[in-house]
Amino acid sequence: MPVYDLHCHSTCSDGRLTPAELVARAAQKGVTHLALTDHDTLAGLPDAMEAATTWDINLITGVEFSVSWQRKPLHILGLDFDAAAPGLVALVETLQIIREQRAEKIALKLEKKGVKEPLEHARRFAGGKLITRPHFAHCLVEQGFAKDFESAFRYYLGQGKPGFVATQWVELETVVGEIRRAGGRAVIAHPRRYRLTHSWMRKLLKLFKECGGEGVEVVTGGCSPGDIEAMAQLAVRFELMASAGSDFHDPANPWVELGRLASLPGTLSPIWSQFDDQASNRVSEQIR
């Protein structure tokens, strides 16, 4: 029986395992088809691919793009694309510049709150890779400003808090367009987490579909049966395919594990029915 997990993070963004460690863990947990979907970077794909060969697991190219839609931050997954597509590579470069500028602004705000050298700390913890808010959360915990990541977000980094920087990411239409041009599938990540009203959710799904989006993440790590049911109904109504991914970041989090997802409701077409069987081979040919 194939086991799909199409959403997870490595040390190339805000995950705690290297791409190779992540693939190894996924294989040990029984995942047969894995997509590594780091935030705004493709940097982990070559190492993940190499590990996937060793562990005999199917690696699907992935990325989780940061998008602004109606001033709201959303996450759009790209799956099963050509990782060498120039438009996609350029988009990743743009997002990395946005992230770098945002990190500088977050650091200035945190310094005003008495945090020492937050940018240097975040950069060091990110290991020279792209900087995310969890890297600043680590700094806040280390310096005693917060007891854990959750409170670092609640008191400093979350929306409206002293270290929050409103960011103009890239447009939804641009991201979906580039994923498509790269031969991939665009999927709305964890749609229920945005806490949209019914009417905003319908607006989003309609526009997403019109601009070429094909899937929604119906099953995601930590979601409830009610979340699955609600998203399944919307997927049917808007004729979108369904995806499943844990959004795994950290083996120390007992609530989210690779390959432990509920199965998709039978009424839905899985996004992987559209995948190119040669995807894994394409990663190795094109990235090297």
* Footprint on this chain of Mn ion (rule: CB under 5 A): 14, 64, 75, 189, 247
DSSP state of 275: -
Q: Of these partners, ligand AMP, Mn ion, none, which one is at the site of residue 150 (CB under 5 to 8 Å by kind)?
A: ligand AMP
Interface size with ligand AMP, residues (CB under 6 A): 10
Contact 186, 77 (CB under 8 A): yes
39 or 121: whose CB is closer to ligand AMP? 39
Given its phi and psi angles, is residue 173 left (phi above 0), alpha (psi -120 to 50 degrees) or beta? Answer: alpha
Q: Which of 132, 220, 243, 280 binds ligand AMP (CB under 6 A)?
A: 132
194 or 200: whose CB is closer to Mn ion? 194
CA-closest candidate to residue 272, choices 243, 234, 236, 238: 243
d(Cα 13, Cα 287) in Å, to the nearest integer? 18
Q: Which of 7, 33, 39, 192 binds ligand AMP (CB under 6 A)?
A: 39
Element (H, E) at 90: helix 86-112
Site string for ligand AMP, 149-188 (x = CB under 6 A): xx--x-----------------------------------
d(Cα 18, Cα 112) in Å, to the nearest integer? 33
- Single-letter code of the amino acid located at 165: V
- State yes or no: residue 133 binds ligand AMP (CB under 6 A): yes
Region 186-245 residues binding ligand AMP, contact defined as CB under 6 A: none
* Ordered strands of the 4-5 beta sheet: 4-5, 33-35, 58-60
Token duo for residue 205: 């799904």
CA dihedral 11, 14, 16, 20 (to 10 degrees): -30
Q: Which of 78, 134, 184, 213 binds ligand AMP (CB under 6 A)?
A: 134
Q: Which stretch binds ligand AMP (CB under 6 A): 26-34, 147-155, 187-195, 272-280?
A: 147-155
120 or 150: whose CB is closer to ligand AMP? 150
- State yes or no: residue 249 binds ligand AMP (CB under 6 A): yes
d(Cα 94, Cα 105) in Å, to the nearest integer? 17
Residues that bind ligand AMP (CB under 6 A): 14, 39, 66, 132-134, 149-150, 153, 249
